[in-house]
């Protein structure tokens, strides 16, 4: 398992170097003051995030969403296992003029956070492309629960596991489902075709390992870790272009204008009971 995670970390180090230069992440607009958060998480957390909310962001990549939450008033801690991502996040925090006391970034594997943090948080947040890197959702949910205050909120906005099964093939953009809905054994991929943020990126760390997790597995892991589920929402729109033929709307969401209304995004909100 360690070999899988270190291969994934090397891949993410490489992406963390490339991604700040991409239009997808548009660092320039962020530095000019725009949020990188989607309307979905801002609306579904509007009653929870405010001045003084202590927010822990799991798998924060190079920190744009974490820093956007800081601009909404939260005091944020972003965690990621990629040292390159964490270093870049700190640089961007300073460039954006956000105080170090309001936004800190910590390098750690999700499973080892208790080695580096010992406080608890009002809100644990994680989003878009995170669970597929984690082999064991039971251990992940225990980490979430461990870092929540009693009465605190957990929130996940994620690529729907059904959508994660799909890809398009052929000139007619047929949608196939070649990947498992839920897998215990790692799926291994060669990612020589670039990344979701830059289709033309030339990568050298190309071997990655992924685990898709079904909705039932996600919800059950959170319940087993002692959380009360508030809602599970599913949406036929995606935060990124996964399939040929998808079109981006003015709202920044990608849809299949002529395709079936398959679930593409999932959001889950849960509470740690008092």
> Which chain residues interact with ligand SAM by CB under 6 A?
5, 8, 12, 59, 61, 64-65, 80-82, 85, 109-110, 127-130, 133-134
Instruction: Report the residue number, 81 or 105, with the smaller CB distance to ligand SAM.
Output: 81
* Residue 110 vs 124, nearer CB to ligand SAM: 110
The least distance separating ligand SAM from the CB of residue 106, rounded to whole angstroms, comes to: 10
d(CA 52, CA 35): 18
Q: Which helix (H) or strand (E) holds 173?
A: none
Least separation in angstroms between residue 260's CB and ligand SAM is: 25
Query: Smallest distance, Å, CB 140 to ligand SAM?
Result: 9
Q: Please, what is the minimum distance in Å from the beta carbon of residue 130 to ligand SAM?
A: 5
DSSP H/E element including 139: helix 137-146
Closer residue to ligand SAM, CB minimum distance, 42 or 173: 42
Half-sphere exposure of residue 136, counting CA atoms within 13 Å on the CB side?
Answer: 14
Cα of first residue to Cα of last residue in the chain, in angstroms, is: 35
78/152 with CB nearer ligand SAM: 78
- Report in angstroms how near the CB of residue 65 gets to ligand SAM at its nearest: 5
CB of 115 vs ligand SAM, minimal distance in Å: 12
Task: Choose between 58 and 219: whose C-beta lies nearer to ligand SAM.
Answer: 58
Minimum CB separation from ligand SAM for residue 151, in Å?
A: 26
How many whole angstroms separate alpha carbon 44 and alpha carbon 218? 19
> Whole-angstrom Cα distance, residue 121 to residue 146?
9
- Round to whole Å and give the CA distance between 136 and 191: 23
Structural tokens at position 38: 């989607």
Query: If DSSP codes are grouped into helix, strand and coil, which group holds residue 2?
Result: helix
118 φ/ψ sector (left φ>0, alpha ψ -120 to 50, else beta): alpha
Q: Are 59 and 110 in contact (CB under 8 A)?
A: yes
Residue nearest to ligand SAM (CB): 129
The distance of Cα 200 from the centroid of its chain, to the nearest Å, equals 22
Instruction: Specify the residue, 82 or 145, whose C-beta has the smaller distance to ligand SAM.
Output: 82
Q: Cβ closer to ligand SAM: 26 or 173?
A: 26
């Amino acid at each position: 398992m360690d070999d899988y995670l270190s291969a994934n970390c090397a891949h993410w180090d490489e992406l963390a170097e490339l991604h700040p230069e991409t239009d997808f992440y548009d660092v320039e607009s962020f530095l000019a003051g725009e949020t990188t958060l989607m309307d979905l998480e801002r609306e579904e957390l509007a009653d929870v995030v405010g001045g003084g909310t202590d927010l822990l962001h799991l798998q924060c990549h190079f920190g744009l969403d974490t820093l956007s939450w800081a601009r909404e008033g939260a005091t944020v801690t972003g965690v990621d296992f990629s040292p390159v991502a964490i270093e870049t996040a700190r640089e961007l925090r300073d460039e954006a003029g956000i105080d170090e006391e309001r936004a800190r970034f910590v390098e750690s594997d999700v499973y080892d956070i208790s080695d580096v943090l010992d406080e608890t948080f009002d809100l644990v947040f994680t989003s878009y492309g995170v669970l597929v890197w984690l082999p064991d959702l039971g251990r992940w949910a225990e980490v979430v629960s461990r870092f929540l205050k009693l009465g605190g909120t957990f929130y996940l906005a994620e690529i729907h596991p059904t959508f994660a099964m799909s890809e398009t093939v052929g000139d007619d953009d047929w949608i196939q489902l070649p990947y498992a809905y839920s897998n215990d054994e790692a799926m291994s991929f060669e990612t020589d075709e670039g990344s979701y943020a830059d289709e033309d990126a030339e990568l050298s760390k190309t071997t990655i390992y992924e685990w898709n997790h079904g909705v039932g597995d996600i919800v059950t892991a959170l319940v087993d870790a002692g959380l009360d589920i508030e809602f599970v929402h599913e949406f036929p729109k995606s935060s990124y272009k996964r399939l040929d033929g998808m079109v981006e709307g003015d709202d920044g969401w990608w849809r299949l204008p002529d395709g079936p209304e398959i679930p593409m995004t999932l959001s889950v909100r849960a509470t740690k009971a008092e």
